[in-house]
Structure 1
Amino acid sequence: MLQRPDSQLPDAETENEAPHPGLFTPTRERLALVAACVLAIAAAILASSGASRAADTSAEFALLIGAMAIFKTVILIAAGAILWWRLGAPISPALTAGYVLAAATSVAGATLVWNMAHLGAAPFLFDGGLLVFLLLVLRDNGGPWTAAFRSRGRA
């Protein structure tokens, strides 16, 4: 029986790992995230078109709502960047669906705040989506961040 020299033996770690797409490579999961967020924005705009906007409110209230919309957008950009990064690694379909639905819900809530419509429901959508996102992160054992936390615990 012929044996290969050690330099030609396949590395066990590289055989088991799937290649990770780049940060800007569109995967099915990432495309689903973008599509769901675009649909959520369209639905929120459609829902707010017939709603009575806060036109009779004071300028201070409108300024406060505008500032809240900016803060919510900054939070969504940060969460979206984390989620985009996570969807580049292997992930289960159920977890993908949860992440995508949570993101779309938060985006719909923020869009309603931007349109100053349905201000009673918008915080529930935004905060509920973020809460589900955080709960999914805690349950996600296969995420890239899990390896980083495990390696810190061993040191």
Structure 2
Amino acid sequence: MDIKEIQNLIKFVAKSGASEVKLEMDDIKITIKTGSESDTTIVHQVPSTHIPQAAPLAVQPVATEATPTKASEPAAAEDSKYITIKSPIIGTFYRKPAPDKPLFVEVGQTIAEGDVLCVIEAMKLFNEIESEVSGKIVKVLVDDSSPVEFDQPLFLVDPS
């Protein structure tokens, strides 16, 4: 289990409202406690018989451009008129209710408030994500069967 997975687990537990979660795997034990004055996360890594030594990483500064390019400014202004529909949970994004079924929505399709846009699988539960706005789907921002984070943009909708 890598750091990214542990961070995602901590975020998920914090959002779920659980007060304590314990996870034990072959080489790691994790206890996450929430609801106290300070959130606590304890990670115990059980030593294995062989731990490969990694070479130390050299940190090199990365040069960044101080001013944005002219091409990105019109794109940002153009996207500002759209409403972004974001993921309410962490999970796996699916555009279809089943592999043999058609897509919930396609680019260019007009949607109404309450229409199902996609499903997000979290812990073997499929959660239907409904639109909170009416409009036209401009862009799908996530690939089918991809993991999504909480508050990650999923769709761009033109409300006009």
TM-score bracket, normalised by the shorter chain, equals under 0.3
More helix by share: 1
- Structure richer in strand, relative to its length: 2
TM-score (norm 1): 0.20
Q: TM-score, normalised by structure 2?
A: 0.20
Higher relative contact order (CA 8 A, sep 6+): 1
